[in-house]
Structure formats: structure tokens, C-alpha cells
Amino acid sequence: MRQSARRWTAKQLLEKVNAYLLECEEAPVTVRTIQKDLLFLQSLPHNPAPIAFVETGRERFYYYEEAYVLEQPAINADESFALALSQAVLEQMSGFPLVKEFARLRHKLEKQLSEQQLQQAAVLLFEHNPQLKGIEWLEPLFEAIRAQTVLKISYQPYDTAVIEKVIHPWWLKQFNQRWFLFGWNEAYNRLDNSPLDRIIQLSPVSITYHPNSSINPQQYFNDMVGVTRYAEDVPQQVTIRVKAGRWHYIHTKPLHPSQQSLPPDNDHHLFRYRVIINKEWMSLLLSFGADVEVLEPFSLREALQQELMKAAGLYK
């Protein structure tokens, strides 16, 4: 119950609210936030707050015109379960500030539920690598993309010395439990791909940001598996022959969105793709061992044959 007799200035309300937030270990708010919240309470569709004010000299005092009860938003066990699943998905984006914010929000809402209602077993289990390197760069890179800040990156390739490159960051992409930064390379005037686990240091550069106005990220990755693509790469037709025992696996889990089923060849099944041939695509095909045979193009068939011969040579 909110009483109508007490009158408050915005400054007094601010002191009360921030004292409460301090106890909850939350960040303080400003007078502007208090004023916006008062307007929000007055505009609630089902239970608007009867807030009025009176001005005395240079001070404005807020009060309830009549006794008022603020309806608390209810949350039931099913909604709590939905929140838990949402948090499980978000936690795969560890490194972003919104994950912690969501966890705090969930904690606040679930204070209304009993401990018995909150006891839930994990039902979504994701692959997770706690030793993943480079995850600490996710937040600063995300902020640089949002603020359109050019970055100088100290980068360590696997087999060479540390290099520095100036990148206009465009987007972040996850593949095979690794994160990659895509952006415009200032020196080479082309799209650049940097695995986050190879980044050593970041620093802002005071030059004009080059925005992405020519590449649609979704379309860019539609023609490929993974993240490796060069300017000259174009999709090629690839046909594979699959043993009967593996047909259902590939049929129900397509290797690429362009996958098409062809008429079977005796006890084998054929699939056709339109895809860029890169190292990730080759690794995916090799992962099926003797269950998958590439029929075309011949160049890919020959490249896989050489890889398999090298691998077989290790076991002689």
C-alpha cells in the first residue's frame, strides 16, 4: 500500500532508490531516471499510479492523490524454467556483458518463487571449452563494432612473428567453438579474418571508420562451411557418394544448405552441393573416412586422395 500523505522531491526519491540499489549491489540511477520512472508508473495500462505534484517555490513535490497498491509482476514455475533455458543459451556467449545482466534479472524475478520450485535439472547441455583462448576479447571487440572504432591489433600467426594490422571491425563469427573477427584491413584494402585466440593486444586508432556497405554477412557464409574464403573463391559443384550405412546421417543432417539428394547408385546414395572448396569443407568430408567418396570435381578428389595417403603413411 502506498500512502497519499507523504510528499517527496525528486532528490529525496533519488536518495531512497539509490540506498536500496546499494544494498542490492546494483548501480545507482540519476534524477532523470526517477522522472522517467514516475511517468512510466502513471502510464501503466491496467493499474496507473495516481501520482500528482505540487510546486512550492522552486521545489516540486510528488505524492499519491489516493492510496495505491503497485501490482507486482508474477512469475510462475514454467516461466522460471523458460528463463533458465534462455540463460543456458546466453551463457554460450560468455564474454558479453548482457549475460551477467540477464542472470541478475532472472535472480530478481525468481525471488518470488520457493526453493522447491527453483530446483531444476539441466536439460540443455552445450559443448563448452573452459580453456578457450581469446574469449576475453569478445566484449571489447563487440563494443568497437558498435561504436565504429578502428583498431590496431597485435596478432600472432601460428608459425610467424607477431604482426600489427589496422582493422575496421565489422562482425564476429563463431565456428567450431572458436570466435573470429571479420573487418576491413586498412593496409591491404580487403576483408580480413582474425581468430580471437591469435590476438595479443587491441588499441583504438583515430582514423575514419570504413563501414560495411557491400557485404551481407549471411549471404557471405551461405556458400561455404567454416570461415575461410578468399576474394577469388567461387562456389563449385561437388558430388559425393555415400555408403548406405551413413546415408540417413547425412540426409537428416545436411553438410551444407545447398545439399541435394540424387538418384541412388546401386547400394550407394549420391548428394550434390554448390559450395566453396576450403580447408573446412575438406576436413568435413575427410571426417567420414571410407563412408564418403568425392566424385567431382576431380581437383577436390585428387586433393583428398593426397591427404589420405599422407595420413595412411603415418601408420605404416
| Residue 273 and residue 259 in contact, taking contact as beta carbons nearer than 8 Å | yes
Query: Cβ–Cβ contacts within 10 Å for residue 64, how many?
Result: 17
d(CA 79, CA 109): 10
pLDDT of residue 102: 67
CATH number of the domain within which 178 lies: 2.30.30
Name which of 177, 173, 259 is nearest 218 in CA terms.
173
Judged against a pLDDT cut of 70, whether residue 281 lies above it is answered with yes
Q: Nine-digit cell at 122?
A: 539441466
What is the distance between the alpha carbons of residues 137 and 181, in angstroms, rounded to a whole number?
10
For residues 211 and 250, membership in a common domain is answered with no
pTM more than 0.75: no
Asked whether residue 42 is assigned to any structural domain, the reply reads: yes
Amino acid at position 2, single letter: R
The tally of CA atoms less than 13 A away on the side-chain side of residue 125 is 3
Average pLDDT over residues 8-29: 84
**Could you give the number of structural domains in the chain?**
4
Same domain, 46 and 83: no
Question: In this structure, what CATH number is given to the domain that contains residue 299?
Answer: 3.30.70
Residue 229 lies in a domain: no
**pLDDT averaged over every residue in the chain:** 84
> Are residue 253 and residue 295 in the same domain, yes or no?
yes
Say what the pLDDT of residue 261 is: 94
Contact 221, 182 (CB under 8 A): no
Set of cell numbers at residue 193: 579474418
- Name the residue with cell 510462475: 76
Residue 141 shares a structural domain with residue 194? yes
Which structural domain range is residue 205 located in?
Answer: 137-217
- What is the spatial distance between Cα 3 and Cα 66, in angstroms, rounded to a whole number? 7
62-87 residue pLDDT tens? 888 887 776 655 566 666 666 666 76
Domain assignment present for 188 = yes
**Rounded mean pLDDT of 150-164?**
91
The strand pair at 163-175 and 236-243 is best described as unpaired
Is residue 130 in some structural domain? no
pLDDT value of residue 116:
44
- Asked if 268 and 303 sit in the same domain, the reply is yes
Query: Is the sign of the CA dihedral 303, 308, 311, 314 positive or negative?
Result: negative
User: Both 94 and 60 in a single domain?
Assistant: no
Under 8 Å CB-to-CB from 162, ≥6 apart: which residues? Answer: 154, 155, 156, 200
84 lies in the same domain as 147: no
Residues 206 and 143 grouped into a single domain: yes
| Predicted pLDDT of residue 130 | 63
Does 225 reside within a domain?
no
Angle at 308 between CA 303 and CA 313, to 5 degrees: 130
Q: What is the pLDDT of residue 95?
A: 61
| pLDDT tens digits, 85-140 | 676 666 666 666 666 666 676 666 666 555 444 455 456 666 666 667 888 898 89
| Cell numbers that stand for 258 in this block | 545447398
Q: Which residue is it, cell 563469427?
A: 173
pLDDT at residue 59, as a whole number = 85
CA 247, 251, 253, 256 torsion: positive or negative? Answer: positive
Q: Cell for 294?
A: 568425392
Please check whether residue 69 lies inside any domain of the structure.
Answer: no
More confident residue, 25 or 148: 148
